[in-house]
Structure 1
Amino acid sequence: MVARPGLLLALILVGQFMAVLDVFIVNVAAPVIRTDLHASGAALQLVIAGYTIAYAVLLITGARLGERHGFSRVFRFGVAGFTLASLACGLAPGADSLIGFRILQGVGAALMVPQVMSLIQRTFQGPARLRALGGYTAVIAGAGAVGQVVGGALVNADLFGSGWRPVFLVNVPIGVLLLVAGRKLLPAIPGNRERKLDLLGLVTLAAALGSLVVPLVMGHEEHWPVWGWVLLGASVLLFALFGLVESRVAARGGSPLIRARVLRSPGLLPAASALFLVMCCVGGIMFAMAMHVQAGLGLSPLDAGLVFLPMSVGFGISGMYWQRLPKRLHQQLPVVALALSAVGYLALGLLLRDGQRVGVAVEAVFLPLGLIGGCAYGPLMGRALGRVAPVDAADASGVLVTMMQLGSVIGVAALGTLFLNQVSYPAPPSTSGHALATTTAGVALLMLIGAVLAGRRRDK
């Protein structure tokens, strides 16, 4: 038993907060980074995407290392790597070095983040686990909002003439505090050294994920080159090869990277698939809205961040407290919430389709959209992990977090392409608004598919 589970939860959720924050906070600073470092468009794209690529590709590897060497130990190692890489990013003299340090940041996040879910699984049971997962949901929402707002504020403030550098350096004191507190608060859960690392599986899965993520992240800016399509095709073959490798490892009595029984855990795959689509929608609509309000409507980075604040606040509140609703509603709550989200996004598109300014009516849609979204996300998280055995916590956490991260990447690629194919900036607000309306229709369709998946429960 952990003596102070509340403090432990707060500690690991701060680590999760940093990892998500870094996705959003750097996007806001991108134009200033480009000017200050004289970065090309491709270099700037790698500054933003390098973190996401490393993070997405190595999440399952990070989960396995946590199981083998101890969740707490690997969490601290990830925090240390993330903090040092953040310091290096803040001091980077040029675009090339900043790209390298951003990739190292992603590696640190991939070591740190899977341990958060694993520690929640190992520390909390029953209703306490649902409350902890509610806190996890609130942190995801809060980090997105804070990243947009704080990133804009730090860039606008230009502290001591430092320009964009504080968006990275802000992680350093937080990381140091986490490392100091972690020595006292993190439980000493021993690793399972008997479960050997499936190195061939690790390499094959990393290659498959990399072949999928790299072209999706960079495809649009590079005008979907031939090499991107080649990599996407190769990813299909590599995923098939990974399945074959894992089957042979299991047949020989070894330790496959992902155990088949984990995928058969009651509710895991249907809920994870629905969460994948939810993250597709969140990633895609955040990208499209950010482009619309900044490039289409001319808002500053800070004002653009404030546009999303009601949605993030609503998402965090309902993610924390959805379990207080009557229990008879819990089973169908994700289905109803996703169906209502589809209606809400269609309404948002109608309000903004002619290039209107973001006003009270739009914000009045954003707040309930956030509340409804949390009522889908929180129960799906609980359903995905609620009946996973503690011994399988690492595998389940790695699978779930990877699917969610891939959902976000694929959502930005697919819905972002749908949006940008209809508008080329500079463009009139009405053109941008019509592109956004079409994108929200795509989001609504994905939400309805997610509702169908959420209605499927595999309890046996």
Structure 2
Amino acid sequence: MTVLDPSPALPDRRSWLLLGTLLLGQFMALLDVTIVNVALSSIRADLAASGSELQLVVAGYTVSYATLLITGARLGALFGTRRLFRTGVLIFTATSLLCGLAPTAAALVVARFAQGAGAALMMPQVMSVIQLRFAGAARAKALSAYSAVIATGGVAGMLVGGALIDADLFGLGWRPVFLINVPIGIAVFALVKRVAPADTPSGARRLDLVGLALSLPGVLLVVTPLVLGHEQGWPGWAFPAMAVGVLLLVIFVRVQRRVPHPLLNLDVLRVPGVRSGLVTLALATMAYGAFLFSTALHLQVGLGDSPSRAALIFTAFGLPFGLASFYWQRLPQRWHRWLTPVGLAVATLSCLAVAVGFGSGGHGGLTTLIAFAVWGATIGAGFSPLLSNSLRNVPPAEAADASGLLTTTLQLSQVVGVAAFGTVFLGLAPSSHAISVTLALLSGLLVLGSVSGLALSRAVR
């Protein structure tokens, strides 16, 4: 079944070292979601890439990554989390090298799709290890570190990407944004073997091929139009493809309840807190993804900021997010289950304050930066307990299923947020009110998330 003892014990120093190594791999994978954005103009000039090829350089990673997360989680349960994580790191590292050495735009696109597949094998294993090796307060602390990495990964991608492009190391232009993964990946690959316990699967290694045949094209047909649709003006194939994808996923859900060894055991949804937690997570992450996308465009296109300056402005949001995600447990215990609904409620007000600040036509000054910081801190203070409370009652035997659902929800909701609210923003641009209207609409998602967070707090008390 899985590589780890199904009864979480008090983690030792080696467990924390293992977690740190896995989170380094996760950070590397998250970095590549945004790091490439700042390199697109250089890639276009160097490889004579078309607009469609540039879209696929960005989207290919996200499409394959989101499509394979559920499969990656199940493979980890069947063949061992260490084995699957190291396989993912190996694929990710090798394809990062191929990206950095790509002689043509087409080669780069293919390598990006493969790179996303490697990330999809890595990411679910991190959550599975947290559930299987940590319990109680230690699990909450581990999830806080996980949340902090998520909070900082996207912003760090813009900062690192901008710095590497500006530095033009060895005259390589855009290529170091991919090549930087190679030494990190080699180090992670070697460290995991030293700090993770050996894989000792038990039980039959059966992969639900019917579920695989339904889930892979289903998610692919839903994600691909969402990722590419707004860039291509929502072509005629987009909505029929999504409809077919949704139909396949509905059939997938029905089939999973009938097969003896399902790809995704949906019984985990009956665990108290999981269902309301996933809804809250989806709403909050949709708002987060849409905020990053629309605000980055507003700063760089609307206000003419460089990618590096835009990333520095986002640091006012990302740094408090990361710190609050990690240190929320220092607040009084009786507050913990209310942090998610209250955090999202305060984040709603901060979102509206940023909308008003940008409404003046400029950066909004110090007041807007403070609103960014408050927004980041309150989202961070709510996000880690959201994960902790959602997974609190999940039994170890269902860790892979919870991991697959959670990581897929994280990725899909960001894609949906960017597609829906990115379309709104682009439809209103270049009006100076485009960002204010978009953020005002995003505040509605945060309100719904706060209400759903109340249901979660009641489910886990």
Give the structure-1-normalised TM-score. 0.95
Per the alignment, residue 343 of structure 1 pairs with 349
C-alpha displacement of 1:193: 4.5
Deviations, residues 8-57 of structure 1 (Å, cap 9, x unaligned): 11101001101111001111112221222111111100000000000000
C-alpha displacement of 1:459: 4.7
Q: Which of residues 393, 398, 408 in structure 2 aligns to 1:392?
A: 398
Structure 1 residue 289 corresponds to structure 2 residue 295: yes
Structure 1 residue 82 corresponds to structure 2 residue 92: yes
Assess if the C-alpha contact under 8 Å between 1:29 and 1:155 holds in 2.
Answer: yes
Provide the rounded CA distance (Å) in 2 between the counterparts of 1:120 and 1:94.
40
Structure 1 residue 207 corresponds to structure 2 residue 220: no
Per the alignment, residue 262 of structure 1 pairs with 268
Provide the rounded CA distance (Å) in 1 between the counterparts of 2:95 and 2:202.
28
Q: Secondary structure at the match of 1:194?
A: coil
- Counterparts of residues 370-449 of structure 1 (less than 5 Å): 370-423=376-429, 427=430, 431=431, 433-449=432-448
Assess if the C-alpha contact under 8 Å between 1:71 and 1:191 holds in 2.
Answer: no
Please tell me the residue identity of whatever aligns with 1:139.
V
C-alpha displacement of 1:263: 1.3
Per the alignment, residue 180 of structure 1 pairs with 190
Listed as ranges, the gaps of 5+ residues in structure 2 are 1-8
When structure 1 is superposed on structure 2, of 39-48 and 356-365 the one drifting more is: 356-365
Q: Which of residues 165, 168, 179 in structure 1 aligns to 2:178?
A: 168
Provide the rounded CA distance (Å) in 1 between the counterparts of 2:329 and 2:460.
20
Q: Which of residues 49, 73, 80 in structure 2 aligns to 1:70?
A: 80
Q: Secondary structure at the match of 1:248?
A: coil
C-alpha displacement of 1:273: 1.1
Q: Which of residues 328, 335, 360 in structure 1 aligns to 2:366?
A: 360
| Stretches of 4+ aligned residues off by more than 6 angstroms | none
Provide the rounded CA distance (Å) in 1 between the counterparts of 2:216 and 2:297.
31
C-alpha displacement of 1:156: 1.0
Give the structure-2-normalised TM-score. 0.95
Please tell me the residue identity of whatever aligns with 1:191.
P
Deviations, residues 314-362 of structure 1 (Å, cap 9, x unaligned): 0100100111111111121111111111111111010001311353222
When structure 1 is superposed on structure 2, of 26-35 and 442-451 the one drifting more is: 26-35
Provide the rounded CA distance (Å) in 2 between the counterparts of 1:266 and 1:273.
13
Per the alignment, residue 451 of structure 1 pairs with 450
Assess if the C-alpha contact under 8 Å between 2:353 and 2:368 holds in 1.
Answer: no
Q: Secondary structure at the match of 1:455?
A: helix
Please tell me the residue identity of whatever aligns with 1:104.
A
Please tell me the residue identity of whatever aligns with 1:14.
L
Provide the rounded CA distance (Å) in 1 between the counterparts of 2:21 and 2:36.
23
When structure 1 is superposed on structure 2, of 220-229 and 165-174 the one drifting more is: 220-229
Per the alignment, residue 325 of structure 1 pairs with 331
Provide the rounded CA distance (Å) in 1 between the counterparts of 2:164 and 2:231.
27
Provide the rounded CA distance (Å) in 1 between the counterparts of 2:304 and 2:266.
50
Assess if the C-alpha contact under 8 Å between 2:357 and 2:365 holds in 1.
Answer: no
Please tell me the residue identity of whatever aligns with 1:134.
S
Provide the rounded CA distance (Å) in 1 between the counterparts of 2:254 and 2:234.
30
Q: Which of residues 233, 236, 240 in structure 1 aligns to 2:243?
A: 233
Q: How many pairs are equivalent?
A: 449
Per the alignment, residue 164 of structure 2 pairs with 154
Q: Secondary structure at the match of 1:330?
A: helix
Provide the rounded CA distance (Å) in 1 between the counterparts of 2:383 and 2:44.
35
Structure 1 residue 21 corresponds to structure 2 residue 31: yes
Assess if the C-alpha contact under 8 Å between 1:65 and 1:74 holds in 2.
Answer: yes
Structure 1 residue 272 corresponds to structure 2 residue 282: no
C-alpha displacement of 1:421: 0.4
Provide the rounded CA distance (Å) in 2 between the counterparts of 1:31 and 1:200.
42
Deviations, residues 49-91 of structure 1 (Å, cap 9, x unaligned): 0000000000000000000000011000100100000000000
Structure 1 residue 308 corresponds to structure 2 residue 314: yes
Provide the rounded CA distance (Å) in 2 between the counterparts of 1:383 and 1:348.
29
Provide the rounded CA distance (Å) in 2 between the counterparts of 1:244 and 1:139.
35
Assess if the C-alpha contact under 8 Å between 2:266 and 2:401 holds in 1.
Answer: no
C-alpha displacement of 1:192: 4.0
Provide the rounded CA distance (Å) in 1 between the counterparts of 2:460 and 2:166.
51
Provide the rounded CA distance (Å) in 1 between the counterparts of 2:237 and 2:338.
44
Please tell me the residue identity of whatever aligns with 1:415.
F
Provide the rounded CA distance (Å) in 1 between the counterparts of 2:435 and 2:255.
43
Assess if the C-alpha contact under 8 Å between 1:70 and 1:192 holds in 2.
Answer: no
Per the alignment, residue 208 of structure 2 pairs with 198
Assess if the C-alpha contact under 8 Å between 1:272 and 1:380 holds in 2.
Answer: no
Provide the rounded CA distance (Å) in 1 between the counterparts of 2:47 and 2:391.
44
Provide the rounded CA distance (Å) in 1 between the counterparts of 2:296 and 2:326.
26
Assess if the C-alpha contact under 8 Å between 2:79 and 2:205 holds in 1.
Answer: no
C-alpha displacement of 1:302: 0.8
Q: Secondary structure at the match of 1:308?
A: helix
Per the alignment, residue 59 of structure 2 pairs with 49
Q: Secondary structure at the match of 1:331?
A: helix
Per the alignment, residue 5 of structure 2 pairs with none
Assess if the C-alpha contact under 8 Å between 1:195 and 1:255 holds in 2.
Answer: no
Deviations, residues 252-300 of structure 1 (Å, cap 9, x unaligned): xx11112132111110111111111111111101011110110111111
CA RMSD between the two structures: 1.3
Please tell me the residue identity of whatever aligns with 2:448.
I
C-alpha displacement of 1:310: 1.5
